[in-house]
Amino acid sequence: EQPVQRGQQSLCREQLTQELSHGGKFLLTGAGGMGKTRLLLELCGRCTARYHAAEPVFVYLSLRGYQACSNDTFFLRRTLLQLLRFPPEHPQYHDALHSLHVLFDQTDSKGQASVVLLLDGLNEAGTQRKMLLAEIEELCRCKGVGLLLTDRTDAVMEYALRDFVSLSLSPLQAQQIDSQFTARGLAPPESQRLRQLLTTPMLLFLYLESAEPTDNSTPETQQALLALYLQHFYLQTLREDSGDQNSQLINRYLLRHFLPQVAWEMHRQGRTIL
């Protein structure tokens, strides 16, 4: 389990869940690939595995879609309403919105929240985030709402989200990395530069997917590691379509031309979705 840090204090999943359930507001930071999304999905899956009327409802929401509606004052609330299913005599939009606001202000006798919102990827919400931040701060003032928001850094706290507590995901430790190699029957790499890269969970996963027992390659930069993974994935698709030249040609075009063009266009437009 990857530890979550609050200052010098390590926070386990159970502690984080309890504090969120009682209305805690947290900003979880970490570089790309550190496992922020995985943690939110893990919390959501664990807390929705069963329903209990006395426990808050955990809801996972990706903020990536905000790029397409950057002037939406009620983006989060509209998204929540779209997830709900109403009876045939469903209420009007304003009635449903009012019901949400009532729910957001409800706590039980023990101070437990009604809803915990897991908001993933403030850094992927685009550059026009004024309305989104205003809505998050408005929800932050609701006593029946717990909030866990992710971002690459906590720079946003210089001018917004002052009531949030900053958390961070710690890099993987050496024993955690070695155990993953051992589980796959692979020898842990000796290169210290490579081992430093592998402290990021996503990069460790990509390397393990690419590495083979007879492989002597030792990528020492993130770019080299990604290139190794993509080459391995490319060859794997060719082997899976062995003898089917049409499928191989399609996959070759997708991986060598189409996806790089998409990535360049995303970079050019400064967007994470097209």
Q: How many CA atoms lie within 13 A of 51 on its CB side?
A: 2
Provide the pLDDT for residue 90: 67
Q: How far is CA 167 from CA 29, 58, 69, 177, 217, in A?
A: 6, 19, 28, 22, 36
Report the percentage of the chain scoring pLDDT > 90.
66
Q: What is the pLDDT of residue 216?
A: 65
**214 pLDDT above the threshold of 70:** no
CA 182 from chain center: how many Å? 27
Region of residue 263 (phi > 0: left; psi between -120 and 50: alpha; otherwise: beta): alpha
Cα(104)–Cα(106) distance, integer angstroms: 6
First to last CA, the chain: 34
Give the pair of three-digit tokens for residue 188: 């842990």
Please name the residues in contact with 87: beta carbons below 8 A apart, sequence gap of 6 or more.
none
In whole numbers, what is the pLDDT of the chain averaged over residues? 90
User: Across residues 220-232, what is the average pLDDT?
Assistant: 91
- pLDDT-derived band at 199 (thresholds 50, 70, 90) equals very high
Average pLDDT estimate for 207-230: 83
Query: 189 or 90, which is more confident?
Result: 189
Does position 153 have pLDDT exceeding 70, yes or no?
Answer: yes
pTM for this structure? Answer: 0.86
pLDDT score at 260: 93
pLDDT for position 86: 74
pLDDT single digits (tens) 65-110: 898 887 788 999 999 988 887 777 767 778 888 888 898 999 988 8
Model confidence pLDDT, tens digit, residues 163-177: 999 999 989 999 999
